[in-house]
A and B are shown apart, each in its own frame.
Chain A
Amino acid sequence: DAKTTQPPSMDCAEGRAANLPCNHSTISGNEYVYWYRQIHSQGPQYIIHGLKNNETNEMASLIITEDRKSSTLILPHATLRDTAVYYCIVRVATMPSGNTPLVFGKGTRLSVIA
């Protein structure tokens, strides 16, 4: 099972900031938070990831609370093309080193409205 909890759906007006929340209360100290999005019938697209500091790139900002039990993905100026399912994922540490599979939940369906 996924280790994160997200609202099933959200709406956002075009041009406004979209703030997508994610709860990961059982996160451990060495686990990162990843965000991906999936536009209908395409493969998921990587957005951003972080450990404990806030992160920003050309697509979005990631705000992680100090206790790391929750985070928020921010799309600063949402457009119609940002309509997608957004997945918040905590990396499952099943091995002491090397790549470990990402576990996807059902995500949040963001609808950007004109």
Chain B
Amino acid sequence: DGGITQSPKYLFRKEGQNVTLSCEQNLNHDAMYWYRQDPGQGLRLIYYSQIVNDFQKGDIAEGYSVSREKKESFPLTVTSAQKNPTAFYLCATQVSANNSPLHFGNGTRLTVT
């Protein structure tokens, strides 16, 4: 979706380093989500945020942290505590209305060596 920007598209880091993935949206959507995808697998939820200054853990939050200081931004930090950080990370947004669809960015592929 043109209104969701994930940068960079490819990111390389050394093991033991924290790294922050960016997600910015200009859709004025209230909710934002971070998913992780491993090869041949579906998406797994890391964190989500319904409103500014509030967020909840998803199914695989360990080793990750987020912040939601602005409506437009929901950065994800992959910490050194995440055992298998190499993956494809997807950010999504959603309007506040119930049952509205998710809109996804084009993802960041993180490789940690």
Q: Which residues of A contact B (CB under 8 A)?
A: 2, 32, 34, 36, 41-46, 49, 87, 91, 97-99, 101-107
A34 to chain B, nearest CB (A): 7
Asked if B45 is at the interface of the complex by the 8 Å CB criterion, the answer is yes
| Size category, B interface | 20 to 34
**Which listed segment binds A: B11-19, B74-82, B96-104?**
B96-104
Interface residues of B in 32-83 (CB under 8 A from A): 33, 35, 40-45, 48, 50, 58
Q: List 11 A-B contacts (CB under 8 A).
A: A34-B101, A36-B101, A36-B102, A44-B90, A87-B43, A98-B50, A98-B96, A103-B45, A106-B40, A106-B41, A107-B42
With A34-B101, A99-B50, A105-B42 in contact, do A42 and B107 touch (Cβ < 8 Å)? yes
B13 to chain A, nearest CB (A): 19
Asked if B105 is at the interface of the complex by the 8 Å CB criterion, the answer is yes
A80 to chain B, nearest CB (A): 21
